[in-house]
Amino acid sequence: MDHSQAPVLAALADYQRRKDIPFTPPGHKQARGADKRVVEVLGAAVFCSDIVATAGLDDRRSSNRILEYAQELMADAVGAEQAFFTTCGSSLSVKAAMLSVAGPHEQLLVGRDAHKAVASGLILSGVQPIWVEPQWDSDLKLAHPPAPAAYAAAFEQHPDARGALVISPTPYGTCADLSALVRVCHNHGRPLIVDEAWGAHLPFHPDLPAWAMDAGADVCVTSVHKMGAGLEQGSVVHQQGGVVDPAVLKACVDLLGTTSPSVLIYAGLDGWRRHMVEHGHELISAALDLAQRTRAQIEDIDGLHVHGAEFTGPGRAFDRDPLQIVIDITGLGVLGYRAADWLHSNHHINLHLSDHRRICAQLSYADDTDTTRALLTALRDLAAHASDLRGGPTVDVPAPEKLRMELVQLPQNAFFGRTENVSATAAPGRVSAEILAPYPPGIPVVLPGERITQPVMDYLISGVRAGMVVDASDPQLNRIRVLVEN
- Can you give the pLDDT at residue 486? 77
For residue range 23-62, list pLDDT tens digits in order: 999 999 999 999 999 999 999 999 999 999 999 999 999 9
Residue 119 CA neighbour count, 13 Å, CB half: 24
Give pLDDT, residue 401: 87
Ranges under pLDDT 50 in the chain: none
Give the Cα separation of 344 and 37 in Å (integer).
27
CA distances (Å), 279 to each of 274, 276, 282, 371, in order?
A: 8, 5, 6, 21
> To 5 degrees, how large is the angle CA 258–CA 264–CA 270?
100
Q: For residue range 241-258, what is the model confidence (pLDDT) as tens digits?
A: 999 999 999 999 999 999
Look up residue 325 and give its amino acid. I
Q: What does pTM read for this prediction? A: 0.96
Domains in the chain (CATH in brackets) are 7-275 (3.40.640.10), 280-389 (3.90.1150.150), 400-483 (3.90.100.10)
For residue 122, the model assigns a pLDDT of 97
- 431 touches 409 (CB < 8 A): yes
Contact 345, 316 (CB under 8 A): no
User: Quick one: pLDDT at residue 258?
Assistant: 93
- Strands (DSSP E) along 228-343, which ranges? 235-239, 305-306, 319-320, 324-328
Cβ pair 431, 414 in contact under 8 A: yes
pLDDT the model gives residue 400: 86
